[in-house]
Amino acid sequence: MQISEKDFVRLYTYIKSNFGVNLEKKKTLIEGRLTNFIVSEGFDNFTDYLDNVFADKSGAKINTLMTKLTTNYTYFMREKEHYEFMENVALPEWTQKIRDRDLRIWSSASASGEEAYTTAMVLHEWFGLKIKEWDTTILATDISTRVLEMAKAGIYPEEHFDHLPKAWKLKYFNKIGEEKYQVKDVLAKSVHFGQFNLMGNFSRFRKKFHIIFSRNVMIYFDPPTKQALAKRYHDVLEVGGYLFIGHSETLSGIQGDFVQIKPAVYQRVR
């Protein structure tokens, strides 16, 4: 099923204006990801489908559309180097500095939860029994309520665990059925999930974060939107805080007080 130029323009314009996501050069992606879904919804063309989506005042249908267009395959312990940096550098630094034992970490595009739960496992392993002496609850947000519900359910197929130590899978997950696992309560209680649009108001965050994950998000944004988002992240990071982005992304050319520590790891310096 092909999308007309008129429908393509109105779709990517709406998404850019409301969510900051730039799909202007993603016509093939849009057709590929939506065609089967549109048919399953009872439509035989993009025009009628988009009319139906934009007429839905509840926002549920545009939410589903965004999930289809922006959710990528993910898994536990993705980009392992970030978690090693947390263990070897970020956590030793911040646990020496923080006086109130309130460690604040934000998974800002958490999708189906693998990133946030991996981070929680790293914290449990690093702190050990001392984790009870700290507030280490992770904030995990996403624009899609659908993937957030999946994350809260915490049920994952076998293939999502290929990069996770087997001992961690046994320790933090219960096997259900033949090839699925569900997070145990100790892990589920370590993450708070909520909906948030990265183009929204960051002033809702009353305290600044020590670590922010924003991986494989900026690939959807044009340079001005990336600049604006980097500024928002900067403003809600503690001085010395770390921003993790995807290895296919860069803040090169983005103005701001970030210093690149290593590939895909940046620090707020002032």
Domain ranges of the chain: 5-70, 80-268
Average pLDDT over residues 76-82: 95
pLDDT single digits (tens) 158-189? 999 999 999 999 999 999 988 899 999 999 99
Which pTM does this prediction carry?
A: 0.85
**Which stretches does DSSP call E strand in the chain?**
105-107, 138-142, 155-157, 173-176, 180-183, 191-195, 209-214, 237-245, 258-262, 265-268
Question: 5-70 belongs to which CATH class?
Answer: mainly alpha
249 against 73, higher pLDDT: 249
Residue with tokens 């609850």: 137
pLDDT single digits (tens) 252-267? 777 667 999 999 999 9
Q: What are phi and psi of 47, to 5 degrees?
A: -60, -50
pLDDT at res. 72: 67
pLDDT at res. 248: 84
pLDDT single digits (tens) 121-160? 999 999 999 999 999 999 999 988 889 999 999 999 999 9
Nearest to 107 by CA among 187, 270, 217: 217
Rounded Cα distance between 122 and 118, Å, is: 6
| CATH topology identical between 5-70 and 80-268 | no
Question: 80-268 belongs to which CATH class?
Answer: alpha beta
